[in-house]
Amino acid sequence: MRLVRAGRIVADQYVRVLDDEPIPDGVPVIVPAARFLADAEEILRREAPTGVLWPNNRRIAELAPHLDRLALVALEFPSFKDGRAYSQARVLREQFGFHGEMRATGNVLRDQFLFLMRAGFDAFEVVKDADAAVFAEAVARYSVFYQPAGDRRIPALRARLSLGTPALCERV
């Protein structure tokens, strides 16, 4: 596994803490959702940044009251075909205004990078080294986007208006 953040392979500063382990002091941690919710105040009082691993069968709205004190939310892709976390990510970014790190974890492969980025993810726990190595190339594959999403890209429906008269092809 390689962590990609801001387009580069980086070292992971965060420690994953399981349900029954003690939470270490002074280090950034990622704790499971249930444990975090059971003891949020205590965990957030620590000196170091806190992240939460949120499962995709739990309503993301439950996390809303804590978001301004969380440094990271990790969302899960148990399989590449399970797309629930894309919705969670967009709601976190676009409706709850979460500005911290949003990390994709699980079965994260090259062909999802662009979708993930557009949904608002900015950190990726990439399964295959070869995929992590071509991250920049994979997210630059498309230059046209049809819909507004969690990134700032201008969708085609809007772009056409600013382009003026579209260059139509009379015979497609």
Partner 1 sequence: MYLYDDLDRTLVTERAAEFRDQVARRLSGELTEDEFKPLRLMNGIYLQLHAYMLRIALPYGSLSSDQMRTLAHVARRYDRNYGHFTTRQNIQFNWIKLAELPDAMDDLARAGLHGMQTSGNCVRNITTDQWAGVAPDEIEDPRVWAEILRQHLTLHPEFSFLPRKFKIAVTAAAHDRAAIRVHDIGLRLHRNGAGEVGFEVVVGGGLGRTPFIGKTIKPFLPKRDVLSYVEAVLRTYNQFGRRDNIYKARIKILVHDLGAEAFAKEVDAEWQPIKDGPLALDPAVVAAVAGHFRYPSYEALSDNPPELAKARASDRRFATWFANSVTNHKAPGYAIVTLSLKPEGGPPGDATAEQMDAIADLADRYSFGEIRVGHEQNLVLPHVAQRDLLALWKALDALGLATPNVGLVSDIIACPGLDYCSLANTRSIPVAQELTRRFRDLDLAQSLGRLHINISGCINACGHHHVGHIGLLGVEKNGEEFFQVTIGGQADENAMLGTLIGPAVPYAQVADVVEDIVEAYLELRTRPDEIFLDTVKRVGIEPFRERVYATR
- Site of interaction with partner 1 (CB under 8 A): 56, 80-84, 86-88, 90-91, 94-95, 109, 111, 114-119, 130, 141-150, 156-161, 166-172
Among residues 140, 61, 59, the alpha carbon closest in space to that of 96 is found at: 61
Among residues 137, 115, 101, the alpha carbon closest in space to that of 12 is found at: 101
Q: Could you tell me which residues come within 8 angstroms of residue 128 by beta carbon, excluding any fewer than 6 positions away?
A: 109, 110
Length of the chain: 172
* In the complex, least distance from residue 24 CB atom to partner 1, rounded to whole angstroms: 33
Is the CB of 35 or the CB of 93 nearer to partner 1? Answer: 93
Is the CB of 8 or the CB of 59 nearer to partner 1? Answer: 59
* In the complex, least distance from residue 62 CB atom to partner 1, rounded to whole angstroms: 13
Question: Which two tokens mark 56?
Answer: 């995709």
Distance from C-alpha of 24 to C-alpha of 44, rounded to nearest angstrom: 13
Is the CB of 29 or the CB of 85 nearer to partner 1? Answer: 85
* In the complex, least distance from residue 92 CB atom to partner 1, rounded to whole angstroms: 12
* In the complex, least distance from residue 13 CB atom to partner 1, rounded to whole angstroms: 27
